[in-house]
Amino acid sequence: MVLSGKMAAPGIAVGRVHVYKKAGFIPKESYVPKGKEQSHLDRYLAVKKSAFDELEELKILMQEHDPQKAEIFIAHQEIIEDVVINEEIPSRILNERWSGDWAIYQVYETVLLVLQKAADPLIAERAADFDDVRTLLLRLWYGNKDEGLSSLSEPVIIAAQDLMPSDTASLDRNKALALITEKGGLTSHTAIIAKSYGIPTVFGIHGLLEAVKHGQLAVINADEGKVILDPEDEIAAEYEQKYDAFRKDKEDAEKYLLKPARTLDGEKIDIGLNVSGVSAGELAPSSYVDAVGLFRTEFLYLGRDALPDEEEQFHAYKKVLECFGERPVILRTLDIGGDKQLSNLNFAREENPFLGNRALRFCFSNPDIFRTQIRAVLRASVYGNMWLMFPMVNSIDDIRRAKETVVSVKEELEKEGKPAGQFKTGIMIEIPSIALLADYAAQEVDFASIGSNDLCQYMCAADRMNSEVEPYYQSYHPAMFKLIKEVTGAFTKHGKSVSICGELAGDPLSASVLAGLGMRKLSMGAGSVASVKRALCSITVKRASEIADKVLECATAEEVQRELGKIKE
Ligand code: PEP
Ligand code: MG
C-alpha cells in the first residue's frame, strides 16, 4: 500500500513502524463538590509548577546542544503562565465548580479552536504548542510518567497522528529512522527540528493511523512524500540499496569537508556558511568554510515576547565575528515580513506579505528597530571582518537611504565615544528591478549577494511558500541564470565582491554552473558544504563555463535540468 504526504525533511528510510499514540487525556465533564473548589485549584497550581519545572529541565538539556531549540520550551513555559488562561482556569474551578482536569481541558480547547481557525498558517501551527502544553498538564494531573520517544529500544519509523515539539526535541535521534504523521505544518517547530536532525519526515498523510500497524515493514521516500507499507521484497531491497547508496555518497562527500573548494584547473571558489544564530551548533562548521556568507539575523527576533535589545544583539554579532576572525561575516539586517512575522509586534494584515512591508521596507518604517540593530552591528564591527548587508533592495534610492542611516548611526556612536571598526556595506540582489540596475548598484556599495530564493519568487511571480504554485517556481528557469550572469559581470567589472547565498548555491549541479558563469563565492547551509565542495573539486572552470554557455542558450527549465544532468556524466 502506498500513502502520500508532503516532505518536511528529505531522505530515505527502510524499517519497522513504531505507532506512537499519546495518552489521549480527554477528561470527563465533571464538577467539584461544594467546598472542594480550593483543593482543585491548589492541585492545578501544583501541576502547573511541576510542568514548568519539567520544561525547565528540557530547556537546560537542549541549551547544551542548541539554545535556539531551547526557545521552544521557553515558549511552552510562557503558555503555562499565560495570563488569560490563568484567570480562566481558576475562575472556572472556583466560580463554576469545574473539576481541575476538566477546566484545563476546556480552557485550552477554547484557545486551540481560535488558533486553529486563524487564516495565518504560522498562527494556526502554534496550536500544536498549546496542545502540547495541555497534554503535559493533564499527564501530570493524572500522575502519569512520560512514555515519550526518548527511550526507544531500536531504530524505527515513528508513525503518529501529530508530533509535538517536545516529542521531537526529546527524541533519541539515532533511533528515529523517519517520522510520518497525519498532521503537521511544514514550517512548524517539529518540522524545523526534524530537518536539523536530518530525519526524513513526511507530514499530512491522510488515513495513516488507520492503515499502519505497529511493527509493520515500511519504506519512506521523504523526497517524494511517499510511504510504502508492506513493500514487496524487491521494492524493500531496492530501497535498502538506495539507502545504502545515499549513505555511502554522503560519506564520500564528507571527505571534501576540510579541503578548499578548488577546481581541477586550480580556481579557488570561496564557500560561505548560511547561519541563523550563534549557538555552538550553528557555528560548529566554521572550520571548513571561508566566511559567513549569510547571517539571517531575523532569527534572533523570532518566537519571543520582546525584541532583542542592542546589548543582546551586540553580543551575538561579536560572537560570530570573533569565531570567524579575519574571515568575512556577512550580516544581513532584519528580513522580517513575508513568512516571518514577529509575534511581539502588531503587523498590519497584508494581502500579499511577500510584496509588502518586508525586510528593508519594514526597517524604514520602523526606524528605531533599524537603528538599534545598526548600532549593535557597528559596535560589534570592531571585533572582526564585518560586512553589513541590506535585504530586499528595490532601487538605488533604497540603497542611499539605508546608507544614510548607517552614516547617521556611525556619527551618533562616535559622539558617544563608541567608534565603529572597519566594515563593508552591501545589498542582496533579490528583486529583478535592482538586478537589472546592477551596473549602477555596484557603484553604490562594496558588495552584493544574490538571494536566488527570492529572486526566483519575484522573477517567476510564484509565492515560494505556496505548494499550489510550486511548478511555476522554477529555480532552473533559464532567465535566472541569465540575470545571475549579468549581476556577476556588473559587480566584477567594478571590482566589487559578488556572491550567491540562496539555495541554488547549495545545489552541487547549479553550483558548478554558477562557477562557470564567473561566480567565485557561494554560500549555503552546513548540510550542503561537502557535496558542493566535491562537485567543484571535480570539474574544471573551462568545462563549467561550457556547460554555463549551454544553459544560457536553453529556453526552458527542463532543458536547463538536462544540461545540468550532463555534469554527472
Ligand atoms: C534568498 O532569498 O535567496 C535568501 C538567501 O534569503 P531568504 O531565503 O532568507 O529569503
Ligand atoms: Mg531572501
Q: Is the dihedral of CA 378, 421, 331, 456 positive or negative?
A: positive
Query: Per-residue pLDDT for the chain (569 aa), expressed as one digit of tens each?
Result: 899 988 877 788 999 999 887 656 778 888 888 888 999 999 999 999 999 998 888 888 777 666 666 788 888 999 999 999 999 999 999 999 999 999 999 999 999 888 878 777 677 777 888 988 998 898 888 776 555 676 677 899 999 888 776 677 667 777 899 999 987 655 455 665 676 677 889 988 988 988 988 889 999 999 889 999 999 999 989 888 888 888 888 889 989 999 999 999 999 999 999 998 898 878 988 999 999 999 999 888 876 668 899 999 999 999 999 999 999 999 999 998 877 777 667 677 788 888 999 999 999 999 999 999 999 999 999 999 999 999 999 999 999 999 999 999 999 999 999 999 999 999 999 999 999 999 999 999 999 999 999 999 999 999 877 767 878 989 999 999 999 999 999 999 999 999 999 989 988 999 999 999 999 999 998 888 999 999 999 999 999 999 999 999 999 999 999 999 888 76
Q: How confident is the model over 416-430, as pLDDT tens digits?
A: 999 999 999 999 999
Q: Rounded to an integer, what distance in angstroms lies between the CA atom of residue 382 and that of residue 385?
A: 8
**Cβ–Cβ under 8 Å, residues 162 and 128:** yes
120-128 CB contacts, 8 Å cutoff, 24+ apart: 120/341, 121/185, 121/187, 122/187, 122/339, 122/341, 124/185, 125/185, 125/187, 125/188, 125/189, 128/162, 128/164, 128/165, 128/184, 128/185, 128/188, 128/189, 128/190
Task: Choose the residue to mutate in 298, 301, 335 for probing ligand 1, maximizing ligand atoms within 8 Å of C-beta.
Answer: 335
| Residue 311 CA to its chain's centroid (Å) | 25
The single-letter code of the amino acid at 61 is L
C-alpha cell recorded at residue 534 = 566535491
From the alpha carbon of 449, which atom of ligand 1 is closest? 5
Q: Of 179, 186, 190, 242, which Cα lies nearest the Cα of 72?
A: 190
Q: Known catalytic residue: 537?
A: no
C-alpha cell recorded at residue 71 = 526557545
pTM summary value? 0.72
Return the pLDDT at 187. 45
Q: Known catalytic residue: 501?
A: yes
Q: How confident is the model over 209-248, as pLDDT tens digits?
A: 889 888 899 999 998 899 999 999 999 898 888 888 888 8
Strand 521-524, strand 176-181: pairing:
unpaired
- Catalytic residue, chosen from 76, 189, 323, 363, is 189
Q: With a 6 A CB cut-off, is 393 part of the ligand 1 pocket?
A: no
Return the pLDDT at 426. 98
Strand 226-229, strand 2-4: pairing:
antiparallel
C-alpha cell recorded at residue 333 = 539586517
C-alpha cell recorded at residue 490 = 556588473
Strand residues in 440-519 grouped as ranges (E): 447-450, 497-500
Domains and CATH numbers, the chain: 2-22+148-241 (3.50.30.10), 37-142 (1.10.274.10), 267-568 (3.20.20.60)
